[in-house]
Structure 1
Amino acid sequence: MKLLLRTLLLLLLLASTQVIAQEAKNSNVFLITLDGVRWQDVFTGVDMNLLNSDYTHNKDELTKKFVGKSKNENRKMLMPFFWNTIAEEGQLYGNRNKGSKVNLTNTMLFSYPGYNEILSGKADDANIDSNDKNYNENVTVLEVANKSETFKDRVAAFASWDVFPFIINDKRSGVPVNAGYMDAVGVLNEKEKFLNEIQRQAPIVWESVRLDVFTHHFAKEYIKKNHPKLVYVSYGETDDFAHDGQFDFYMKSLLNTDAFIADLWNYVQNDDFYKDNTYFIITTDHGRGEGVQEDSKWTGHGSNVKGAEHTWIAILGPNIEASGEASEGQLFTDQIAPTVAKILNLKIDSRNMPAKPISLK
């Protein structure tokens, strides 16, 4: 009897090991967004006009931190992971100074429509024309994955903005979403318990958007415990600091977010489940203005703000040609969801996601 039990346990362990090994062979995707970050900031670094404007409160500090001898040096100082790792090992699109363009296809040019376009693969101006907490009728790539046999219960989303349960439609999709000031739930480790305890003890800068450090660490702890195959992480501080006219905090937040993404990348490259089979796709929900004039105000975005339709995309992962910064070419934000689907070999309805995936050479 004991021999039989030992044999059964050995077979179960072997089967479990084979399942884990097979899952590890399948590609994983981390889809990451930075709210309202302009292509200019990514590709040219600190904006000298904004540095010298009333939006900056400590020019000397920002100059020391972000101003080098050239724009290329400036962008490395602002986003070192992007320019020391992604530019060397992956692909970057959206430097309009070099003819590389990424555009939104929705005409609203603010957050909910932008995130819907990123996640569902199509604009929906007729139904999504506000940031109100209405459940999204469109099916996101997260939902497609979560309802597939391969990725069922292997999808998760973490966001700083509290509207994301509605954008992802967590009730219909079944995708677990931790957003705003939501606590981690389920069987928690000590770090998650601590994060639950302190996230509202930290300064509440905005009631609808928590600080990104909490979103990041909630996501990372979940990832370490559960190893989801498709993860969505949405950092939100940058847009809100810009709306507040706080260029200092916007820049520091962008630097911090670059470090968060580097932290996730370093983790997956040292985790047997994720190493060498995980793609990072990074983008933004909209652009924003360039200056201080009303129709191009840096603090704003929307259909009345010049340049708010201009975005960018960064891609890093296995089987990605290390082509770095693209010159010339046109991409659109609605191509991101079908690209995720292609990487994961998800079956999608082309009527719902009509755009072509990005060609990942």
Structure 2
Amino acid sequence: MRVARMSIIESTDVQSAVADRDEHRPERAQRDEGFTTLDALESEAIHIFREVAGEFERPVILFSGGKDSTLLLHLALKAFWPAPLPFSLLHVDTGHNLPEIIEFRDEIVERHGLRLHVASVDEYLADGRLTERPDGIRNPLQTIPLLDGISENRFDAVFGGARRDEERARAKERIFSLRNAFGQWDPKRQRPELWNLYNGRHAPGEHVRVFPLSNWTELDVWRYIAREQVLLAPLYYAHEREVYQRDGMWMTAGPWGGPREDETVETRMVRYRTVGDGSTTGAVLSEATDNEAVLAEVAASRLTERGATRGDDRVSEAAMEDRKREGYF
């Protein structure tokens, strides 16, 4: 069954806005002649959102302002249009986010009139519930605020933008991923998901992480963003930035520290493939200033975005799996 399409655009007349957009996009007529891979991925994700809405009482969408969570929100809005989104958003703020991401997050929340819960790592550090790591990286510190936010708000289903192509531990995970009362993930408790049938059964205190983008690749994400004209934070496109090189990545200076004495700040054309804790997430040199250029760049890459620009995943081969067992995304 074909799903009615809606772009995340600000307009009082959605139909006229979509018609105006399509008039300048002749490739859309060709796409509608057949059911494409992107159509199948979109329909699967929308089906998952609707299944969760019917099966759980208090779902929430993890929203960081990154491209995957922005795409997740786009699909969720489309799944329930023209009704309002029946979920709130949850952001675990490390305090080390790039400023463009926080600005974009707040802009999207205001644009769509959404409710945003923020779990702040800074607050946990200030009152002693967490201690700063020697390396200054805060991504691993997100787990406790995340689990507390889920517990305090009684969320029983948590949507995440993780994809199986990102990292080997995420490739093991089902679309419906059961977490125990401590938020921990056990690969042995993964349930079969045959014929798009999902088992959301869980005991009191447990919850289910839900990953509607599991079967998407980074290239699928960018193809869909280009097709639907999804608005992203500007740092996903090439721009001039003061950066310094560390461990093969181009880092931005900020409250998280750096550069060191032996690291030289340069002005380069860069873009971010993924966003996260500024102390461990790097940019890549790029001239890709629009979706088509990014698509060509991603198609030619032989490294996933996390493998190329996330230092916290390089700690060990099992770094992500270890964090997931503790309750991480």
> Normalised by the size of structure 2, how large is the TM-score?
0.30
- Structure possessing the higher radius of gyration over alpha carbons: 1
Task: Specify which structure has the bigger relative contact order, considering alpha-carbon pairs within 8 angstroms and separated by 6 or more residues.
Answer: 1
> Normalised by the size of structure 1, how large is the TM-score?
0.28
